[in-house]
Amino acid sequence: MKRILICGGAGYIGSHMAQWLAEHGHAVTVLDNFSTGHRGAVRWGDLIEADLLDPAALDRAFHGRSFDAVMHFCARSLVGESVAEPYAYYSNNVTGTLNLLEAMRRHNVRNLVFSSTAAVFGNPIADVINEAHPKAPINPYGASKLMAERFLADAAQAYGLRSVALRYFNAAGALPGHGIGEAHACETHLIPNVLRAALGQGPSLKIFGNDYDTADGTCVRDYVHVQDLARAHALALEFMDRNEGAHTFNLGNGQGFSVHDVIATAASVAGVAIPYEVAPRRAGDPARLVASSAKAREQLGWQPRWTELAPIIESAWHWHRDQPSWSPHHRQTDRPTQAA
C-alpha cells in the first residue's frame, strides 16, 4: 500500500486516478481548490481544500501527514484561454508547480507523477510522435507544461527528486458505473461535445475545417481512455521505485481517428443522427496528432486496454446520458458545442 496525495483529484483525470488507487488498496488524499474540479467527484480518500498558489496552505497540507508520492493534475488547460490570458497560465501552471515542488522538498516527499501534455511538441513534424520529437510549444499552455518538465529535470539533479511526466494526447471516456466522467463548465473537447449534441444540448456541432490532408479532410487525433491513463500513473509509481531521475513518456493509442470517425461512431452508439456544420479552420490545429507509446510499453509495461473507438465513446455516452447533479452540464442546454 502506498500513501498518495492527488493534487487536482476533484477533476476529470484526477478523480479517475483516485478511484483506481483506492480500488487497488492504496491510501488516497485529494487536494483541490475547486476552481474547476467538483466536490461530487471526490468519492475516495480524504480531502484537503487548498491552492498551489498558497505556500502556507501547502505546508499545512503536508504537515503531520506522510506521503510516499504526489500526483500532480492541477493545471489550467484551455489552449485558447492560455493565449488570451498567458499570465494566469504561467502563474497557475508554473508558479503553482514550483510551490508544490518546494513543499515536497521541505516535507521530504521525493516522488512525483506529473500530468503533462502533447502540447509541449507544438506543430508536429512526424505522423507519429515519440519522446524525441522537438519540443516547440505554440501556446502558453504547452509552454507552461514544458517549463514544469524542466523543473523536474533540474530537481532530479539538484535534490534527488524522482519524477515521471506523462504526456497525454487526447484523454477520453468515463467510468459511469462509478459516477465520474468528463465534466467541464467550458467544454472544448470533441467527444463530450459530440455527445452533448446527440443529447440535444446546445446548437449543432461545428467541424473546424474539412480540407486537411487526411483521409476524409478532417483532423485526426489519438484518443486514450482515462482508465488507461490511471493505470499508466500507477505503473509510474512502480517505475520510480526502481529508477532515479526525471523521466518522460508519451501516452496514446498509437492510432488516429478523424473528426468524422468520432461523429459517426457516436451516432452509432447513441442511435441518433448528430447534426454538424463545417466552419473555417482554427489557427494552430495540426492535421494529425498521434502518439508513439513504445517507450511506455517497454519501460513502464503499459499497454492500453481500450484500443477501439466505439467502447471509449460508449463509456462516455453512458456518463453524459446519466449525468449526476454535480455535473456542470446537468440539464443545461444553452452552451454552444464545438469540435476540434
User: Which are the catalytic amino acids?
Assistant: 141
Provide the b/e sequence for 286-309 (b: ≥16 CB within 10 Å). Answer: bbbbbbbbebbeebbebebebeeb
Nearest alpha-carbon partner for 319 in 205, 230, 198, 147: 198
DSSP letter string over 221-272? Answer: E-EEEHHHHHHHHHHHHHHHHH--SEEEEEES-S--EEHHHHHHHHHHHHTS
Evaluate whether 112 touches 52 at the Cβ level (below 8 Å): no
SS3 284: coil
Nearest alpha-carbon partner for 120 in 87, 82, 91, 162: 82
Residue 270 sits at the vertex; the CA angle it makes with 267 and 271, to the nearest 5 degrees, is 75
**Side chain identity at residue 234, one-letter code:** A
Give residue 45's region: left, alpha or beta (phi > 0; psi -120 to 50).
left
Helices (H), the chain: 12-23, 55-62, 79-84, 86-89, 96-106, 140-159, 190-198, 226-242, 259-270, 294-295, 309-321
**The cell 471526490 sits on which residue?**
42
